[in-house]
Amino acid sequence: MKNLDPRRAGWIRTRMGILCGVMALALGGVVSSAWRVQVEDGPEWRDMAERQRLRRLHIEPKRGTVYDRNGAALAVSIEVPSVSADVVEMLRGVDGAPAQEASLRDAAARIGHALSLEPDDVYAKLATRHRFVWVKRRITGDESRAIHDLSDQKKPGRPLRGIAIEGEGHRYYPARELAGPLLGFVAPDAQGKDGLELSLEEDLRGKVEDVRGLRDRTGRLIFEGASDENTMQGNDVVLSIDEGIQHVAERELDAAMRTYETRGGSLVVVDPSTGELLALASVPGYNPNDYTESDVDGRRDRAVTDRFEPGSVMKPFLIASALAAGTLKPTSLIDCEHGIYQVGGITIHDTHVSDILTPTQILAKSSNIGALKIGLQLGEPSLYAAYRRFGFGETAGVPLPGEASGVLRPQGRPWYEAETASASFGQGITVTTLQLAMAMSAIADGGKLLEPILVKRVTDGRGNTVREAGVHVRRDAIPPGIARTVAEMLTAVTEEGGTAVEASIPGFRVAGKTSTAQKVDPSTGKYSTDKYTAVFVGFVPVEHPRIVVAVVLDEPMIGRYGGDLAGPVFRRVSEATLRYLGVTPSATPAKIAGIGREGDPADAMLAAMKAPAPQSVDVPSAATAPPLPGGVKVPDATGMAAHDVVAALSKAGLVPQIEGSGRAVRQNPAAGSSAPKGSPVRVVFEPPS
């Protein structure tokens, strides 16, 4: 600049200064902006970047498995593919509302074709423009491959973005209908809706977790935060139920329902020494895999939810309590008034006319008059307290929804004399099948009323025991000696002259009680003349009881008596269960020792107990029917189906004993012979060749 004109050189310096100043101001602005972005607003920008880069996953844990006592899976969770869509990602790079709508219409048509869905239905889901929406859940293998082809970026054409196939838990019941009402089902929202699936929801479902994962610009997950798989699943549950015994119970109960055309039925098998429930059956049942095809009635677990008037099956608990209270002795003689007695203005009838009976004979012949006299002598407060000690009027405490407690008396007042009398033989009160089984277990187990055990053990994902059930005595219902005495008395029910000869098992001594309880007609408020509940509850073997079985058949159309209908179901279930448990028959002859009249030898009493008597059938509550007449001609059942055989023999006044399936091939007694009315006829069925 030395050779330049001084004025020109000064202008140049001025311009350079201005330029440097402008550049300095610009640099200062850049530095200021960088400071604001990186320092002042840094946390906000970092959070935004993290939100764009990371994906927060809502992880549903795998639902726990339900096992039977031997480790057989009854309910498991499996992974099935489902299709979801990220509509925001699907529309990335598509500008303008018309273009976006056209893009969604095109995507809906392509997805609908791949999944066999209506395009309009798919578009309705995509139009929400959510980051996550289910398109179709639980798809087939072909549909999965079709969706994969649509979203494959390597294939020619226009790959569909934002569509994904995700694994989703699905509840599966390997045994299908087995224990359906007991297990319940799981809805598509992964929530248990009935049975154990509902009551054990907190254990089975586990803890829901949130996991952060890294994703690329297309939204695909390329890294998932590590998590212990064992901590992300529900607890496993081990039941006391035995799959084999449950199968036998449901099979026999279903056969009885079809043979006798009952409205429904329930059956409970209990180990009396522990209180463990080996079977809890209810018919009609349903398949939890297809629960949408069932109705509410089929999903009800009748063994714990249904209340019914028990009838004569309450007499063992009455007599046991009277013996324990000292108001009755095993050798007491009770006048049964020749079958007719009035109390509180009500006339009570016995089907089998009797005069003087012992407590054992009252059980064997199911005398209502004998029972009410024992109940009135015991007294209303003591009778009510006795039933409560056996667990009636309160829930048994199993983890099942809707368990009923039953009703012992109208709220707020004691029983009147007539009510005390009727309660003595099981009228005017209601119980459940489970309550009956647990109460009879108390007699079988020396007078101790145990808590029923349905859930034996709960374990976490690592196999550690979360909790385990143990034997727990709720209370002592009766002294051990009284329990043993009543058990011996109850063997008369299944022996010759008792009301449940059909419940006897060759090689074993069986104790039990029948009931044929009239049902109340809701339209009239009175007892129905044609609707009954047939019941049998008992245990075997008497010397060392291994199982207690309670059978309840609701409103049988063919036949009515508990000994004839529920008794054979008890026998078949007990025989199969004893074989399954490895219990062998005993060679000990049946005997009733020490329950005779005071001063008489035991064998004399045994002879008296087995003296010839009119053919016994159980007494309907407050029945007024006359005694059954004499002999009848046995119909020819050869070639008939089971339904026709039962109808023909019942019409003739005979009791059918069905063995096998198919068509009748032989019978005993033979067709055309004479047999006492009410006697059994054994009919053997074989399938067609």
Q: Phi/psi of residue 211, each to 5°?
A: -125, 135
The three-class DSSP label of residue 87 is helix
Residues in the chain: 689
Beta strand 236-239 with 547-554 is: unpaired
Beta strand 655-660 with 680-686 is: parallel
Q: What angle do CA 356, 359, 365 make, to 5 degrees?
A: 75
Give CA–CA dist 327/139, Å, rounded: 70
The three-class DSSP label of residue 182 is helix
- Residue 677: CB atoms within 10 A of its CB come to 15
**Alpha carbons within 13 A on the beta-carbon side of 408:** 23
DSSP 602-626: HHHHHHHHTS--PPP-PPBTT--PP
Distances 564 to 531, 551, 680 between C-alpha atoms, Å: 16, 12, 9
Name which of 512, 563, 517 is nearest 308 in CA terms: 517
DSSP 471-512: --EEEE-S-HHHHHHHHHHHHHHHSTTSTTGGG--TTS--EE
Q: Is the peptide bond before 669 cis (omega within 30 degrees of 0)?
A: yes
- Is residue 245 a contact partner of residue 72, using CB atoms and an 8 Å limit? no
Give CA–CA dist 647/635, Å, rounded: 11
Name which of 213, 245, 211, 194 is nearest 75 in CA terms: 194
Candidates 77, 266, 312, 424; catalytic one: 312
Give CA–CA dist 576/115, Å, rounded: 49
Q: 285-288 long-range contacts, Cβ below 8 Å, gap at least 24?
A: 285/177, 285/180, 285/181, 285/250, 285/254, 286/177, 286/180, 286/181, 287/173, 287/176, 287/177, 287/180, 288/75, 288/171, 288/173, 288/180, 288/183, 288/184, 288/185
Give CA–CA dist 473/159, Å, rounded: 67
Active site residue 650: no
Give CA–CA dist 217/645, Å, rounded: 76
- Is residue 273 a contact partner of residue 544, using CB atoms and an 8 Å limit? no
Q: Which residues are registered as beta bridge partners of 341?
A: 348
Catalytic residues: 312
